[in-house]
Structure 1
Amino acid sequence: MTDTLRTSGVSRAHGLDGPALLDAYRTMRTIRDFEERLHEEFATGDIPGFVHLYAGEEASATGVCAHLDDERDVLASTHRGHGHCIAKNVDVKAMMAEIYGRTTGSCHGKGGSMHIADLSKGMLGANGIVGGGPPLVCGAALAAKVRGDGGVAVAFFGDGGSNQGTTLESLNLASVWHLPAVFVAENNGYAEATAAEWSVGGGSIAARAAAFGMPGVTVDGFDFFAVHEAAGEAVERARAGGGPTLIEVGLTRYYGHFEGDQQTYRADEVQRARAELDCLTRFRTAVTGTGELTAGQLDAIDSEVATLIDEAVAEARVAPLPTRADLETDVYISYT
């Protein structure tokens, strides 16, 4: 079998053609390598602040954001936002520089890991406030509805964020106003160290959708295709004026709540997830098994992404730091 890209129509197995499958794999691989490298770099002490890694959850961001565009669709993230940013096409080198606190960063080194944003890509920003994203998305979705441009606003939040009043109020408001919004609860099992099976009343985040009169669905967050299908239906419904949807994505983060977390609350679940459930491995098996893509094509992406991450780190290390003169800039914005 040659390593040529199949372009003869849409995949019978997944409803995606060859270029779309390659894009999905590239996004997931970029997120994984970005986070794995940050895990190493943070240990050197050269990165300021806190870092919350997204490794293991790649299929969620990628499956959802594959349906979004930069011009009209927006996304609000969480403190664990690197994967969402990459999936929403924020420049990887600018992200790395931002995490290193450099002026070449996406926010000129002033936001760091938890506040990466790029409005030109529809990325409203990562957010250190648990449950801070859903209210922002209601505003963005209302704006899209008023404009009538078919734009959709997506809020990611965790199982901890699902219990915040801001999130529940946003679900209600989106339903009452019939907003083009999608709420994605990434349930990785823990709000910091508090188990979701103890803290989520009723045992299901998605089941709460019924109380707000919107569809709710739970999907396997290790399966890109399951997330992609559910998100596609939700985004299509929102664009067509059908209102909001709540999606609960079940997954596992491969690292602690933050870098330095001792993770005494977990046993062998991460090892099992890496060995048996990993989204990148499952994607590879699926698309090579059907002959839609070859191992050589995926290996080539692995190599390209590894080079990109090496370059991003090297450039971030030598980029300039903000100066005292930068302190009072970017505080206010002028709309004139």
Structure 2
Amino acid sequence: MTAPPPDTPAGLYRTVRLIRRFEERAIELVTSGEIVGGIHPYIGQEAVAAGVCAALRRDDLITSTHRGHGHVLAKGADPARMLAELAGRATGLNQGRGGSMHAADFALGILGANAIVGANAPITAGAAWAARRSGRDTVAVSFFGDGAVNQGVLLEALNLAALWRLPVLFVCENNGYATTLTVENAVAGTVTGRAEAFGIPAVTIDGMDPQTVLEAARQAVHRARTGAGPTFVECLTYRFDAHHTWEHRARIRYRDDEEVRRARSRDPVSIQAARLTPEDRARADAEIEAVLDDAVAFARAAPHPDPADALDHLYATGLRPRPGGGA
């Protein structure tokens, strides 16, 4: 069956459901030891990735964060190759070298996740500038969390994007916590105020509703593509799971159960599911499970990278360091 367009109700549902089940299957592989080092689950925030990426063209660009699986999948990456990447296999998106926090697929405009908080913003601005210089109407999106709004590198990117009217959409996924630190204890002023200080239009939206995110993203993408410059969108969302799967063992307490329960009452998967018939939901769910069954089998069957190739892909020229050190 041909998948529906990603910007339709059925398409949005398939994306949020795929991300949710991908993350749940990935957590199972972390627990079994097949994904080493753990992951930062995106569970609860699926509406942001789905809504924003549904407003983009294939040739548009995105950069992501340490919590980036949802963005990569929403932009169209192969779930099997993505899961193989998390498992450190040679058939992964980046031959098992990027892992959970550095997945990329340039063919799809996915310029890479980034483990450094806020560090993807200037990469996005640079990519947008390069696209405009080449005469293309490409739009670039930078995804980042509330913790990044206090990083100077993000403010520098906002400044340049405003000065040069770059076609950039800055998407802040405000899930309320920078690891365990609340926004209230970390952010002076407001999140949107960071962008407004540079003259960038900024809005705060419901980041739990895929359709709401899509509508805001469409407006921002249109503005960027027509030369009007950047937009900043703060998506109020919530992660239902741990900051990192390490918490499943450590069981640290910084949120009470009632807070999480209240947040789960507005599950983005359930919100979008309500817009489909039960029959359409069941069909989509079954198809997604089949895709992920194949993805798990693909990842498990794939070989690990050959240690003899460990120094490949480190240098743009292809040069390898000489034995004993030196360039």
TM over 0.5: yes
Q: How much does 1:331 deviate?
A: 1.3
Alignment: residue pair count: 312
The residue type equivalent to 2:221 in the other structure is: V
Kindly report the root-mean-square deviation, in angstroms, between the aligned alpha carbons of the 2 structures: 1.7
Contact 2:16 2:269 in 1 (8 A): yes
Q: How much does 1:18 deviate?
A: 9.8
Q: Which residue of 1 aligns with 2:295?
A: 312
Within 5 A, what are the aligned runs for 1:142-181?
Answer: 142-181=129-168
Cα distance between partner residues in 2 of 1:252 and 1:62: 15
Cα distance between partner residues in 2 of 1:97 and 1:302: 22
- Mark the CA change 1:193 to 1:18 in structure 2 (over 3 Å): closer, same or farther: closer
Cα distance between partner residues in 1 of 2:6 and 2:123: 35
Q: How much does 1:248 deviate?
A: 0.4
The residue type equivalent to 2:281 in the other structure is: L
Q: Secondary structure at the match of 2:73?
A: helix
Q: Which residue of 2 aligns with 1:238?
A: 224
- Structure 1 stretches of 4+ moved >3 Å: none
Q: Normalized against structure 1, the TM-score is what?
A: 0.89
Q: Deviations over 1:20-55 (max 9, x none)?
A: 222211111100000011122211122122310101
Cα distance between partner residues in 2 of 1:323 and 1:128: 24
Cα distance between partner residues in 2 of 1:31 and 1:101: 19
Q: Secondary structure at the match of 1:155?
A: strand
Structure 1 gap ranges (5+):
8-16, 288-292
Q: Secondary structure at the match of 2:33?
A: coil
Q: How much does 1:334 deviate?
A: 4.6
Cα distance between partner residues in 2 of 1:248 and 1:121: 25
Q: Secondary structure at the match of 1:273?
A: helix
Q: 2:261 aligns with which of 258, 263, 271?
A: 271
Q: Deviations over 1:115-173 (max 9, x none)?
A: 11000000011111111110000101101211222100100000111110000111011
Structure 2 gap ranges (5+):
319-327
Q: Deviations over 1:42-69 (max 9, x none)?
A: 1112212231010100100010001112
The residue type equivalent to 2:273 in the other structure is: R
Cα distance between partner residues in 2 of 1:184 and 1:18: 19
Q: Deviations over 1:74-117 (max 9, x none)?
A: 00000000000001101110000000000000000111111110
- Judge which range, 263-272 or 191-200, deviates more: 263-272
The residue type equivalent to 1:239 in the other structure is: R
Q: Deviations over 1:233-265 (max 9, x none)?
A: 100000000000110001111111100222410
Q: Say whether residues 1:208 and 2:194 are aligned partners.
A: yes
Within 5 A, what are the aligned runs for 1:1-336?
Answer: 20-71=8-59, 73-202=60-189, 204-261=190-247, 262-268=251-257, 269-274=259-264, 276-285=265-274, 287=275, 293-334=276-317
Q: Secondary structure at the match of 2:205?
A: strand
Cα distance between partner residues in 1 of 2:193 and 2:221: 19
Q: Secondary structure at the match of 1:212?
A: coil
Q: How much does 1:279 deviate?
A: 0.8
Cα distance between partner residues in 2 of 1:18 and 1:197: 35
Q: Which residue of 2 aligns with 1:290?
A: none
